[in-house]
């Protein structure tokens, strides 16, 4: 984990907007639902949020947004962008139980082996309020890096590529708001490349 954190520190130190400024597509797809849940007292936690592109967008919707990441350089950039930040891991979220209305984790649980991903999902459930929203993005087995094609500069961090519809099963009791899978181009960092992704937005425990 320390080696991965140090690698991300180098990426973020080299470019304060390494992943760009456009929020993740699954959040944009659910803007009306998220806006309906947003209020000053509602906390949104962007786990693995790096420089805070998703966290800033959630804050602009009206949430009290917090960026949680292991990377000190990423958190410095997120703080400079006006976000509250907290150093920590999705395996032990530094948050009170039932305290967050939204938890977003863009390409985070795929950086974990399946057993640890299960622990992460348990932490998400612990921290979400009843009826809270979880938003997840993972790389899938259709990703070029998984099938022997060109890889992005951070592909080595992926520990588990998700099978079709596997992401749906991480929270089978949740109410699905949005789900999508596909292969799409990515120009946000490094050389132009493509990713196979799955995205889930769901309401948990209402």
pTM: 0.90
Q: Report d(CA 85, CA 68) in Å as an integer.
A: 6
Contact 80, 50 (CB under 8 A): no
Per-residue pLDDT tens digits for 3-23: 676 666 676 666 667 666 789
| Length of the chain, in residues | 206
* Average pLDDT estimate for 25-44: 94
Q: Report d(CA 100, CA 125) in Å as an integer.
A: 10
Per-residue pLDDT tens digits for 45-88: 999 998 999 999 999 999 999 999 998 988 998 999 899 999 99
More confident call, 144 vs 116: 116
Find the DSSP H helices in 110-156. 114-127
Phi, psi values for residue 180, rounded to 5°: -155, 145
Query: Do strands 193-204 and 128-139 pair parallel, antiparallel, or not at all (unpaired)?
Result: antiparallel
CA 44-76-100 angle, 5° bins: 10
Q: Report d(CA 25, CA 109) in Å as an integer.
A: 17
Q: Which CATH number fits domain 2-204: 3.40.50.300, 2.60.40.1180, 3.40.50.150, 3.40.190.290?
A: 3.40.50.150
Query: Do strands 100-106 and 43-47 pair parallel, antiparallel, or not at all (unpaired)?
Result: parallel
């Amino acid at each position: 984990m320390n080696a991965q954190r140090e690698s991300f520190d180098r990426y973020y130190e080299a470019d304060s907007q390494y992943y760009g400024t456009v929020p993740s597509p699954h959040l944009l797809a659910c803007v009306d639902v998220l806006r309906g849940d947003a209020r000053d007292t509602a906390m949104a936690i962007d786990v693995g949020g790096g420089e805070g592109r998703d966290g800033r967008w959630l804050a602009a919707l009206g949430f009290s947004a917090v960026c949680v990441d292991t990377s000190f350089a990423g958190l410095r950039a997120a703080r400079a962008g006006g976000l509250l930040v907290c150093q920590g891991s999705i395996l032990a979220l530094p948050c009170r139980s039932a305290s967050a209305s939204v938890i977003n984790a863009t390409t985070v649980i795929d950086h974990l082996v399946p057993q640890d991903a299960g622990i992460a999902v348990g932490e998400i459930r612990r921290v979400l309020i009843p009826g809270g929203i979880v938003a997840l993005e993972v790389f899938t087995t259709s990703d070029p890096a998984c099938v022997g094609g060109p890889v992005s500069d951070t592909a080595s961090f992926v520990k588990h590529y998700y099978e079709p519809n596997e992401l749906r099963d991480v929270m089978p009791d949740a109410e699905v708001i949005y789900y999508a899978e596909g292969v799409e181009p990515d120009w946000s960092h490094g050389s132009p490349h493509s990713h196979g992704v799955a995205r889930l937005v769901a309401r948990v425990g209402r």
